[in-house]
Amino acid sequence: MHILRSNREIAQMRKAGLVVWEAHQTARALVRPGVTTGEIDAAIEQCFREHGAIPLFKGVPGKIPFPAVTCISVNEEVVHGIPGKRALREGDIVSIDTGCKLDGWCGDSAVTYAVGKVSAEVQRLLDVTSGVLELAIELMGTSRRWSEVAGAMATYVRRAGFSVVENFVGHGIGREMHEEPQVPNFQSPQLRRSGDFALEPGLVIAVEPMVNIGGKHVKSLPDHWTQATADGKPSAHFEHTVAITDKGPYILTAAPGEGRGPEGLRPNGQLAQGSKPEGDEALALGRKVR
């Protein structure tokens, strides 16, 4: 079961998404050789505090509760890296994933940055991973079901000679960070059987491809959180929170003015003057599907 959101709710989620976007700008400005992942995490925590936003990652249950407001994963680390004393070095890539809740609504987004100059192959990994996220968002506007998008994503990555991670998937998002449905970046018999879902207005999902230069397999590190590639080769991760509206995909964690989305919603998340919620808003509100 997943919940469809009204235009008004999506506009609220855009406000949360803009805070996540701003947190990423704080991080982007800090990424350079010598900075520690802990320093980046502290700056993002400060950004959330200034906006009165609640960090979503801190305290997530596990063998140890997740101790930071960001997951920061370097080089062969795929996702769920714990920020700390590690200093970034020239030629590293660093994936920064963070989310917050603002006025009861969640946003979640990840970006992988090059630290200084990286090798041509690693740069291509970043381009392919951000490219496959862009492709997915584009196709969300023209496809009927998620499985079509997921299949195109997997093909795009395979043709680039890289692998899509299959152990982790995207997710529905709204009042909670992790809601139904699951949003895989690949097609599987399971997705075709039971996990597929319609791309209809009101759907809000976090789309988050993880792409490896080498094989798709990942392993857990002894800190109980960090996931790294089994073959030790680099991995990248990009994520946006995206709503489907009756005017197309709306990237809720994009820069102000760059969310695309419906004309009726201004980039700052306000309903534009004279635009009214769609007539079936009441129906969409809290409506459960499947």
* The binder of Mg ion chosen from 45, 77, 92, 108 (CB under 5 A): 108
Helices and strands, number each (H, E), in the chain: 6, 17
Q: Any contact of residue 206 with Mg ion (CB under 5 A)? A: yes
Of 10 and 206, which CB lies nearer to Mg ion in the complex structure? 206
Of 136, 125, 102, 146, nearest to 240 (Cα)?
A: 136
Alpha helices by DSSP H, listed for 31-89, are: 37-50
Distance in Å, CB of 81 to Mg ion, minimum = 12
CB of 216 to Mg ion, least distance (A): 19
Task: Tell me the number of residues near Mg ion by CB under 5 A.
Answer: 5
Q: 31 or 284: whose CB is closer to Mg ion?
A: 31
Asked if 179 is part of the footprint of Mg ion (rule: CB under 5 A), the reply reads no
Name 42's Cβ contacts closer than 8 Å, sequence gap at least 6.
Answer: none
Cis peptide before 61 (omega within 30 of 0): no
Least distance from Mg ion to the Cβ atom of residue 239, Å: 5
Measured CA to CA, the distance from residue 187 to residue 217 in angstroms comes to: 16
With CB under 5 A as the contact rule, which of the stretches 146-154, 160-168, 186-194, 234-242 interacts with Mg ion?
234-242
Q: Under the criterion CB under 5 A, does residue 68 sit at the interface with Mg ion?
A: no
Asked whether the CA dihedral 48, 49, 54, 60 is positive or negative, the reply is: positive
238-257 positions binding Mg ion, by CB under 5 A: 239
Cβ pair 15, 253 in contact under 8 A: no
- Residue nearer to Mg ion on the CB measure, 109 or 245: 109
Q: Are 73 and 30 in contact (CB under 8 A)?
A: no
Q: Of 57 and 156, which has the nearer Cβ to Mg ion?
A: 57
In whole angstroms, how close is the CB of 21 to Mg ion at the nearest point? 13
Q: How far apart are CA 143 and CA 8, in angstroms?
A: 24
d(CA 48, CA 228): 28
Give the interface segment with Mg ion, choosing from 75-83, 84-92, 204-212, 273-281 (CB under 5 A): 204-212
Tokens of 82: 């714990």
Q: Cβ of residue 244: shortest distance to Mg ion, in angstroms?
A: 17
For the bound state, the minimum distance from the C-beta of residue 26 to Mg ion, rounded and expressed in Å, comes to 16
The least distance separating Mg ion from the CB of residue 176, rounded to whole angstroms, comes to: 11
d(CA 165, CA 112): 15
Q: Which stretch binds Mg ion (CB under 5 A): 6-14, 37-45, 108-116, 187-195?
A: 108-116
Residue selected from 41, 76, 92, 97 as contacting Mg ion according to rule CB under 5 A: 97
Residue 67 CA to residue 173 CA, distance in Å, equals: 22
> Residue numbers of the site for Mg ion (CB under 5 A)?
97, 108, 110, 206, 239
